[in-house]
Amino acid sequence: MLKLLARTFLRLTGWQIEGERPEVKHYVMVAAPHTSNWDFIYMLAMATAMGIKPRWVGKHTMFRWPFGGLMRRLGGIAVNRRSPSTFVKTVVTAFETEPELELLIPPEGTRSFRPFWKSGFYRIAKAANVPVVLSYLDFGRKVGGVGPSFIPSDDVTRDMDIVRNFYANIHGAYPDQFGTPILREEQRVTSEPAT
């Protein structure tokens, strides 16, 4: 029933789906570009129409009474964002203990322009040894869906080149708020002196 409602909503609003649901049961899905409040609604509709049950991470304070139970039922995983190592460890543990985990992360972290993406999606996928799946909403064409995937390697720049190439021609609702996907870790790698 939910699939039918999602497909009907997308059709009535003029959106189409591209790509296929990932065959694997564990992955980190990048949700980009993230430039509008509408992104969440369309991404959720796309995921539901494709049979994806996305999970997401949220501040542990969101999971307190009286809304904690609801947040968990809606797919939330409580994490303490103040401690990056605890954040990654909590989500990696979820990958180890749950038979299926389709984790959706908007790495921009905000709808406003930021020069760097947050690297949590990458660090989680690498630590959990699961693929990064690229998903998108292209407001220019009113098309969204699932693109390529990759297993993070030891070459963050090469991995992020895959991401940059994929998102190069995809336009968010507000294109000027979507920058080139780059991680701070890439800056550190390129600035290290040669030995």
Domain segments of the chain as ranges: 2-191
Q: Check whether 13 has a pLDDT greater than 80.
A: yes
Q: Give me the phi and psi of 9, to 5 degrees please.
A: -60, -45
Q: pLDDT tens for residues 116-160?
A: 898 989 999 999 999 999 999 999 999 999 999 999 999 999 999
Going through the chain in order, the beta strands assigned E by DSSP cover 16-18, 26-32, 54-59, 76-79, 101-105, 132-138, 143-150
Helix (H/G/I), strand (E/B), else coil: 186? helix
Q: pLDDT tens for residues 32-76?
A: 998 898 988 898 899 999 999 988 887 788 888 888 888 887 788
Say how far apart CA 187 and CA 168 lie, in whole Å.
Answer: 20
Name the pTM for this structure. 0.86
Q: Check whether 27 has a pLDDT greater than 70.
A: yes
Q: Check whether 194 has a pLDDT greater than 50.
A: no
